């Protein structure tokens, strides 16, 4: 993958090397930045470079902001099928309707692309804890990938999100914080919480990785549509070997999808690989359609919808902020398109039609896109010769209440009715957030020379409790760490090069400061009776690697920390 990824500030044009930990432009402080790739040197090689790779998101790694192959994180993201909707096409009189079936991503929504790339970048940057706000699917997706990466995740979810989605999020070990308030408020609470604890917070379109991740939809579509319909006909782009549709349709909340897909098509066009950028049709729920209102009024800035009135929580971004402005500007520079809204009832009806006509069951948010398609055909905006791709963004798989039990969420109330960030609101917010966390978490030192074992233990503890974790990879540094941090508990490996676990124990027990810290030994091999007697009275628990369940370790940890 490209070794130096450049990021450009959308405000001042300043370019820097991409760094996942830096959230703003070093020159002007602007938070709106995006990657720039050397497309001119890639244009001749790109199609042959990718040719023999598996069909999936990482096929296009040269155009993604991740340097090392995150194979150990992969859940098979991207590479979703493009399905011809023959029955729906017949019904609507549009023969070329194609469904990009993003339900077939690892957690059944197109957020998997975003999560796969972002979590890979965070892991690469050594980030171990992160905060997100979500209308549901981002939380589920990020949680799955964070689990694999050993990243502790805090998900701020509005109380409007269906409980099944919250439970699914909690099942992955993410700490769910239920925010009584709308999505824009949940975002504020999350940002404030992250700032308070100096944690990485995902900023939607402003998070470099998310936009680039969504580009892979256009890359895949270019290849898939060409297989389905053949290369573009005679056009003014003689090098274009891949076909672009006339329309790309998506249901839209914050607008991340279309911004990313449009950037993807722009890069393909800049490389001369497609003949055009499709028109974009962004469909919103009528009860929360700030972009549609602004588009119809010809405004470049959208007025926020303060009280979203839709049952479709996934699409309840009331304040799209600059994302709308950016999307509109870029659509107008490219091939145009439109913003349209449909009612919840139209969306539910479209869900039925899609399931019955095409065998595809989607969540209501996706129903919105299909209702939009139907409306646009009825209005004559889409005509029979058009090639249409519709992003089938998500499917819901409910988690049973019994599987997850109670007490998996913390509650926070947004302090007032309004969303104005006045001082008293901020004060109330801080007080509310302080109740989410406590001042001092139990401190646990993990000592093991194998990084994957440390990651596993970190994951077990993070996923179901709040701990401050420290890691050491050998006996000597473990002693230094334990003496300086005075943890409440030590999880210790026995077989380590140079200073082994037995010697660490001896040293700990000789020092009055550390003599009484409880120790759980986690060991890989069967101990001899001599070794066992050496541990006698020195440790509180012994666990065999490869032969304990996460809840057993957690139970020991809980019983030893008071």
Ligand X SMILES: *Cc1c(COP(=O)(O)O)cnc(C)c1O
State which residue, 28 or 306, has the beta carbon closest to Zn ion.
28
Round to whole Å and give the CA distance between 346 and 311.
Answer: 12
Asked whether 315 and 368 are in contact (CB, 8 A), the reply is yes
Smallest gap from residue 388 Cβ to ligand X (A): 17
The item of Zn ion, ligand X, none sharing an interface with residue 252, based on CB under 5 to 8 Å by kind, is ligand X
Choose which of 2, 6, 8, 14 interacts with Zn ion (CB under 5 A): 14
The site partner of 146 among Zn ion, ligand X, none (C-beta below 5 to 8 Å per kind) is none
What's the token pair of residue 254? 């914050």
Least distance CB 316 / ligand X (angstroms): 10
Q: Is the CB of 257 or the CB of 475 nearer to ligand X?
A: 257
Distance CA 210, CA 128 (A): 18
Q: Does 11 contact Zn ion by CB under 5 A? A: yes
Kindly list the distances between the CA atom of residue 123 and the CA atoms of 119, 150, 322, in Å, as whole numbers in the listed order: 6, 8, 28
Calculate ∠ Cα 470-437-122, nearest 5°. 50
Closest approach, Cβ 393 to ligand X, in A, equals 3
* Shorter beta-carbon distance to ligand X: residue 49 or 353: 353
394 interacts with, out of ligand X, Zn ion, none, CB within 5 to 8 A per kind: ligand X
Which one of Zn ion, ligand X, none interacts with residue 28, CB within 5 to 8 A by kind? Zn ion
DSSP 103: G
Q: Rounded to the nearest whole angstrom, what is the least distance from the CB of residue 285 to ligand X in the complex?
A: 10
By CB under 6 A, name the binding residues for ligand X.
109, 111, 137, 251-258, 314, 363, 365-366, 393-394
Which residue in 389, 59, 390, 392 sits closest to 226, CA to CA? 389
**In 3D, which of 110, 14, 35, 2 has the Cα closest to residue 266?**
35
53 binds, among Zn ion, ligand X, none (CB under 5 to 8 A by kind): none
Window contacting Zn ion (CB under 5 A); options: 2-10, 108-116, 142-150, 545-553:
2-10
25 binds, among ligand X, Zn ion, none (CB under 5 to 8 A by kind): Zn ion
Q: State in angstroms the smallest separation of the CB of 16 from Zn ion.
A: 9
Indicate which of Zn ion, ligand X, none lies near residue 130 (CB less than 5 to 8 Å, by partner kind). none
The tokens for 534 are 């050496």
Q: What phi and psi values does residue 377 have, to the nearest 5 degrees?
A: -65, -45
Per partner kind, with CB cut-offs from 5 to 8 A, the member of ligand X, Zn ion, none near residue 352 is none
Instruction: Give the integer Cα–Cα distance in Å for 129 and 175.
Output: 11
Name residues contacting Zn ion, limited to 19-48 (CB under 5 A). Answer: 25, 27-28, 30
| Number of residues binding to Zn ion, judged by CB under 5 A | 8
444: phi then psi, degrees, rounded to nearest 5 = -125, 130
Q: Which is nearer to ligand X, 314 or 335 (CB)?
A: 314
**End-to-end Cα spacing for the chain:** 48
Q: Least separation, in Å, of the C-beta of 284 and ligand X?
A: 9
CB of 334: closest distance to Zn ion in angstroms? 24
Of 11 and 473, the one with the shorter C-beta distance to Zn ion is 11
> Counting beta carbons within 10 angstroms of the beta carbon of residue 270, is it exposed (0 to 12), middle (13 to 18) or buried (19 or more)?
middle
Distances (CA, A) of 52 to 46, 48, 55, 56: 12, 8, 9, 12
CA geometry: angle at 151 spanning 542 and 545, to 5°?
20
User: 391 - beta bridge partners?
Assistant: 100
279-285 and 175-180 strand pairing:
unpaired
Which residue lies nearer to ligand X by CB, 96 or 137?
A: 137
Binding-site partner at residue 113 among Zn ion, ligand X, none, CB < 5 to 8 Å by type: none
State the residues that interact with Zn ion by CB under 5 A. 9, 11-12, 14, 25, 27-28, 30
């Amino acid at each position: 993958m490209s070794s130096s990824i450049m990021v450009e500030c959308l405000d001042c044009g300043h370019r820097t090397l991409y760094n996942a930990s830096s959230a703003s432009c070093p020159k002007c402080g602007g938070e709106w930045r995006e990657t720039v790739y050397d497309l001119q040197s890639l244009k001749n090689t790109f199609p042959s470079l990718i040719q023999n790779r598996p069909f999936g998101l990482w096929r296009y790694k040269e155009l993604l902001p991740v340097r090392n192959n995150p194979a150990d994180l992969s859940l098979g993201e991207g590479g979703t099928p493009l399905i011809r909707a023959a029955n729906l096409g017949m019904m609507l009189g549009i023969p070329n309707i194609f469904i990009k079936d993003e339900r077939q991503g690892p957690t059944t929504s197109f957020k998997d692309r975003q999560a796969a790339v972002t979590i890979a970048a965070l892991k690469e940057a050594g980030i171990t804890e992160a905060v997100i706000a979500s209308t549901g699917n981002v939380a589920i997706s990020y949680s799955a990938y964070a689990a694999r990466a050993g990243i502790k995740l805090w998900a701020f979810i509005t109380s409007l999100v269906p409980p099944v989605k919250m439970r699914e999020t909690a099942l992955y070990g993410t700490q769910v914080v239920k925010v009584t308030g709308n999505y824009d408020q949940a975002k504020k609470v999350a940002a404030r919480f992250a700032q308070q604890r100096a944690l990485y917070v995902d900023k939607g379109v402003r998070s470099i990785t998310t936009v680039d991740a969504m580009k892979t939809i256009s890359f895949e579509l270019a290849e898939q549509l060409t297989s389905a319909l053949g290369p573009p006909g005679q056009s003014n782009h003689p090098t274009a070997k891949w076909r672009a549709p006339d329309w790309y349709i998506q249901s839209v909340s914050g607008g991340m999808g279309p911004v990313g897909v449009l950037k993807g098509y722009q890069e393909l066009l800049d490389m001369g690989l497609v003949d055009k950028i499709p028109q974009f049709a962004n469909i919103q729920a009528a009860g929360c359609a700030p972009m549609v209102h602004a588009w119809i009024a010809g405004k470049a800035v959208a007025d926020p919808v303060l009280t979203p009135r839709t049952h479709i929580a996934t699409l309840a971004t009331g304040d799209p902020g600059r994302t709308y402005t950016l999307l509109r500007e870029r659509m107008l520079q490219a091939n145009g398109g439109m913003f349209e809204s449909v009612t919840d009832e139209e969306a539910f009806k479209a869900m039925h039609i899609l399931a019955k006509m095409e065998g595809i069951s989607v969540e209501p948010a996706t129903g919105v896109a299909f209702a939009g398609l139907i409306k646009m055909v009825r209005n004559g905006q889409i005509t029979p010769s058009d090639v249409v791709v519709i992003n089938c963004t998500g499917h819901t798989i409910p988690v049973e209440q019994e599987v997850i039990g109670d007490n998996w969420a913390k509650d926070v109330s947004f302090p007032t009715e309004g969303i104005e960030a006045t001082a008293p609101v901020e004060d109330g917010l801080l007080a509310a957030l302080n109740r989410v966390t406590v001042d001092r978490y139990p401190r646990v030192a993990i000592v093991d020379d194998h990084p994957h074992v440390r990651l596993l233990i970190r994951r077990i503890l993070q996923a179901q409790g709040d701990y401050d974790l420290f890691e050491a990879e050998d006996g000597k540094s473990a002693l230094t760490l334990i003496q300086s941090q005075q943890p409440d508990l030590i999880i210790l490996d026995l077989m380590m090069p140079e200073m082994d676990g037995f010697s660490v124990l001896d040293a700990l027990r000789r020092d009055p400061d550390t003599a009484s810290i409880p120790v759980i030994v986690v060991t890989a091999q069967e101990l001899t009776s001599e070794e066992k007697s050496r541990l006698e009275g020195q440790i509180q628990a012994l666990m065999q690697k490869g032969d304990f369940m996460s809840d057993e370790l957690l139970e020991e940890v809980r019983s030893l920390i008071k």
